[in-house]
Each structure stands twice: as structure tokens, then as C-alpha cells.
Amino acid sequence: MDNVKIHTRHGNEVTERFPELITNEIPKGLLLDGEAIISNDEGKPDFEEMLSRFQISSAKRIPIMSKIKPITFCAFDVVYYEGKNICHLPLTERKRLLNEVLPKDSRRITNALSIEGNGKALYELVKHQDLEGIVLKKKDSKYEVGTRSKNWVKVINYKYATVSIAGFRKSGFGWLLKFPDGTVAGIMELVPLEARKSVYALAKRLKVKETQDFVYFPNDSLICKVKYRALSKRGLLRLPSFLEFAI
């Protein structure tokens, strides 16, 4: 089992953090691409729980948490097979090999759902189940390392909200957002340059309140529409992205 290694998409090895994935079920010479998830009580991926597991580095806590909150690796592609690079093979052939090599009844290693055709119907089902989205891939597409392939398109199940811009962060860009009821909605960093300039220009004309970390606007008159992935367990917008200013 010493042949099993786990790396992040940035190439950092994190094998020791996920001992539940160290298994002899994976043949030697195989390199898989996929995503690690932790399922919640409804059987849906829990992003925050996965992030929490990933951040644990204590040698004492890791084996405990691997039993309390074990992760599952969902494989969706094969990069190396029997020690050979197979990126040049069409997706359909790589999927066939993936189905052959993955264990059929493992709780920790599984094959990501793959459906040929019926993309619209699948996306509607994903929306109904309030899942993150789907990825559309051309059947003959190659595996392109280190780049966003035009043959693969991620269709995200975005949510939308109208919020107020309560201020901005001084250190590193970020707008402080509030929901209509006045509760904090989170920090938004995905904002185009022109929109940023407009808010900074407004701040110069207003009598703002400043702290060590933030500049606050005096009221909630600056409203904008955003899209986001989901609400966190704290009720904050996850990865909000600016759409437009609202009246």
C-alpha cells in the first residue's frame, strides 16, 4: 500500500492527512483525477466539512477524524494507466478503463456519475436536489494537463441575491455585504475593476466610518445583485460574484 499517494491540484502531497484512502484496491501505475468529498446527513457533498478535514495536520487528530468524518474519493478520469500516460486517448476510452480498474463496492473510492446525453435533464435534477452543478465533456476530448479545456464546460447551479455593500476591506480587496435584514452576508472578492472604481469614488464623497480593518458606509443605500454557490452553515454567501448594481 506504500504505492498510494495523494496530491492536491497544486501538486502538494497530502497522503498522511487521509489514511482512509490508503488501500491496496488501486493498481500500481494508475494516476486518477477526481475530487474528495464528505457527505452530509442527506448524502450530499459538504464543502465545509471537507475543508475542515483538509486543514487538520495533527498526527494525533488525523486518525481519529478519519474514522469520525471519513472522506470518499470520487474519480472522474484516468491520467496514467499501467504506468503509461493516456491523456491522448478519447474520454470514452479513459472512462472505460476507469470502470475496469475501480473497486465496485468500496466505500472510500468510487466512480463519479457519468451520463451520456440528457444534459439538460441531468442539470434540472441537480437543481432540484440543490447540488453544485455538472460538467459537460465532449466524448472524444483528450485530458489536457494544467489548462481549462474548451471541451469541458462546468455548468454551476448558481443562486442569486440582492444585497447591500456595507463597506470594504482595507487589506486585500473585498466588499462587506449585508442581507436586506441587516445581517452580514459575507465578503465578496469577485468584482470587475469598473465596479470597484465606482464604489471607491462613492466612498470619497460619503462620510464613512473606519476601523483598523474596514471602511464602512453610513447606510445601506448601495445595493447590488450577486450570484453565489451556496450558503455556508453560518448563513454567509459562498464565493459571491458581482453581477450589477441595483436601484
Check which CATH number belongs to the domain holding 103 and give it: 3.30.470.30
The whole-number pLDDT of residue 31 equals: 95
Output the pTM of the full model.
Answer: 0.83
* Residue of 60, 63, 68, 51 whose CA lies nearest to 8: 51
Domain-located, residue 149: no
* Residue of 169, 166, 160 whose CA lies nearest to 229: 160
84 and 169, same domain (yes or no) = no
Torsions phi, psi for 109 (to 5 deg): -125, 125
Domain-located, residue 183: yes
CB 184 within 8 A of CB 236: yes
Per-residue pLDDT of the chain (247 residues; tens, 9 = 90+): 457 899 998 889 999 999 999 988 888 899 999 999 999 988 899 999 999 999 999 999 999 999 999 999 999 999 999 999 999 999 999 999 999 998 888 888 999 888 888 889 999 999 999 999 999 999 999 999 988 899 999 999 999 999 999 999 988 999 999 999 999 999 999 999 999 999 988 888 887 788 999 999 887 778 999 999 999 999 999 999 999 999 7
The whole-number pLDDT of residue 126 equals: 93
Domain-located, residue 194: yes
Domain-located, residue 38: yes
Examine the fold and report which residue of 111, 141, 174 is the final residue of a domain before the chain moves on.
111
Instruction: List, in sequence order, every residue forming a beta bridge with 242; answer none if it has no partner.
Output: 226
21 and 106, same domain (yes or no) = yes
Domain-located, residue 57: yes
Please tell me whether residue 61 adopts helix, strand or coil conformation: helix
The whole-number pLDDT of residue 2 equals: 58
234 and 175, same domain (yes or no) = yes
Domain-located, residue 134: no
Domain count, the chain: 2
Domain that holds residue 47: 15-111
The whole-number pLDDT of residue 3 equals: 75
Domain-located, residue 144: no
CB 143 within 8 A of CB 97: no
165 and 232, same domain (yes or no) = yes
Angle at Cα 173 formed by Cα 168 and Cα 179, nearest 5°? 45
Which CATH number is 226's domain given?
A: 2.40.50.140
Domain-located, residue 132: no
Task: Give dist(CA 65, CA 55) in Å, integer.
Answer: 11
Task: Give dist(CA 169, CA 174) in Å, integer.
Answer: 5
Burial class (CB in 10 A: 0-12, 13-18, 19+), 182: exposed
The whole-number pLDDT of residue 164 equals: 95
172 and 228, same domain (yes or no) = yes
